[in-house]
Amino acid sequence: MKTIVKHFHGLSGTTETHALDLKVQEHSKQTWEFYASGTGNTIRIKLKSVFVDAAGNEVSNSGSGDTAGIDIQTIDLTNNVLQITTFDFKLHHVRCTYDDQGSGAMNGVLWIKATAAKD
């Protein structure tokens, strides 16, 4: 089992930002937990699958650089709500980013926990 936990304090701004990457070597069930507090505005979470082409570049339909990837799911996280998302299929490299939802700059605290466990 592999677990990554990150806290982001004092969120501000309106730019998509890299949160974390979860990479696994073999098939595993992935569980992602998101929680925000002290937020006056919704925080948009994006989970993306990361593919690399033959030249070593990341393929993307959303973002660039450390926010690049193919969108899997978008979550609009509101204040004091726990969101849990589970994937039970082969995803070698999943990237998580956060951004404002268009209703104003982000604020508050964001907690992210990602766990990958073998079947």
**What DSSP string runs through 21-65?**
EEE-SS--EEEEEEEEES-SS-EEEEEEE-EE-TTSPEE-SB--G
Task: Give 40-78 pLDDT, tens digit per residue.
Answer: 778 889 999 998 888 888 888 878 888 889 999 999 988
Predicted TM-score (pTM) of the model is 0.86
Question: How confident is the model at residue 1, as a pLDDT?
Answer: 79
Question: How confident is the model at residue 119, as a pLDDT?
Answer: 67
> Phi first, then psi: what are they for 64, rounded to 5°?
-150, 165
**Domains of the chain, start order:** 2-117 (2.60.120.380)
Question: How confident is the model at residue 108, as a pLDDT?
Answer: 82
Question: How confident is the model at residue 62, as a pLDDT?
Answer: 79
Of 4 and 101, the structure prediction assigns the larger pLDDT to 4
Token readout for 57 is 């570049």
